[in-house]
């Protein structure tokens, strides 16, 4: 099975000094199973160098959710949308598609 994958990283600076890194990847399967997006969002506070994910695996609310269920994915998605807007994700996705053009 062959698979094509491409990735893009974008850093957005907020007015309060917060930096938001959006890493988006698309994987295209050559056997007709379609494409799949995957994105990861991390933040870095003003004056810091460390990038931290927007959710924590040790968060009690996250750990209380069923393992491998849709609830965990929904929780992560909700936490990500607290930091970035839908339009920012769409802009990064468009940049990714433009990068893939031959």
Q: How far apart are CA 75 and CA 62, in angstroms?
A: 7
At 71-96, the pLDDT tens digits run 888 888 899 999 999 999 999 989 98
Query: Residue 63 is part of which domain span?
Result: 3-100
Average pLDDT over every residue of 46-66: 86
The H or E element spanning position 64 is helix 60-64
Phi, psi of 85 (to 5 degrees): -95, 160
The structure's pTM equals 0.78
Per the structure, the count of domains in the chain is: 1
pLDDT score, position 50: 94
Q: Name the band, by pLDDT with cuts 50, 70 and 90, for residue 48.
A: very high
Taking the CA atoms of residue 62, residue 67, residue 71 and residue 75 in that order, the dihedral angle to the nearest 10 degrees is 30
């Amino acid at each position: 099975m062959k698979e094509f994958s491409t990735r893009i990283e974008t850093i957005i600076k907020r007015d309060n000094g917060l930096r938001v890194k959006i890493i988006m990847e698309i994987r295209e399967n050559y056997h007709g199973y379609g494409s799949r997006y995957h994105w990861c969002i991390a933040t870095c506070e003003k004056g810091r160098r460390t990038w931290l994910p927007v959710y924590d695996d040790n968060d009690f609310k996250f750990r209380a959710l069923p393992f491998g269920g849709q609830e965990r994915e929904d929780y992560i998605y909700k936490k990500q949308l607290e930091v970035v807007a839908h339009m920012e994700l769409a802009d990064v996705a468009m940049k990714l598609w433009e990068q893939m053009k031959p």
